[in-house]
Amino acid sequence: MRPLNTFIFAGLAVLACGADLAWAGAFAVIESGAKAQGMAGAFVGHADDPSSVWYNPAGLTRTPTGVTVSLGANVFFPDFAADDPDGRRDNLADADHADSESGTVLAGPLGFASWRVNDRVALGFGVNSPFGLSVDWQDDAFVRHQSAFAELRTLFLTPSIGVQLSDRLRLGAGVSYIYADAEVRRQIYFGPGLADGTFELGGQGQGWAYDVGGQVVLLEQLGALDRLTLGVTYHSAAVLEFAEEDSVVRFTVPATFAGDFPNSSVSTNIDLPEIWTVGISAEIHGRTTINVDINRIGWETFDGIRLDAENPVTQARLSPIAGDYRDTTDVRVGGEHRLDDTWAVRMGYAFDESPIPDETLDPILPDANRHLATVGVGFQAGGFGVDAAYTAVFFEKISTDTNRDGHNFDYESFSHILTVAFSYHF
In the chain, the domains with their CATH numbers are 3-425 (2.40.160.60)
Q: At 364, phi and psi to the nearest 5?
A: -60, -40
Q: Is 258 left (phi over 0), alpha (psi -120 to 50) or beta?
A: alpha
Q: What are phi and psi of 128, to 5 degrees?
A: -150, 175
List phi, psi (to 5°) of 117: -65, -45
Phi then psi for 13, rounded to 5 degrees? -65, -40
Distance separating alpha carbons of residues 330 and 209, to the nearest angstrom? 21
Q: What is the largest CA-CA distance in the chain?
A: 80
The answer to whether 49 touches 70, Cβ cutoff 8 Å, is yes
Angle at the Cα of 276 from the Cα atoms of 271 and 279, rounded to 5 degrees: 150
pLDDT in tens, 271-325: 999 999 999 999 999 899 999 999 999 999 888 888 999 999 999 888 877 778 9
The answer to whether the CB of 299 falls within 8 A of the CB of 328 is yes
CA distance 98 to 81: 6
How far CA 228 is from CA of 217, 307, 339, in Å, comes to 6, 49, 21
CA angle 164, 170, 174 (to 5 degrees): 100
413 burial type by CB count under 10 A (0-12 exposed, 13-18 middle, 19+ buried): buried
Residue 170 vs residues 50, 126, 148: alpha-carbon distances, Å? 15, 19, 47
Is the CB of residue 236 less than 8 Å from the CB of residue 273?
Answer: no
Q: Which residues of the chain, if any, have pLDDT below 50?
A: 6-25
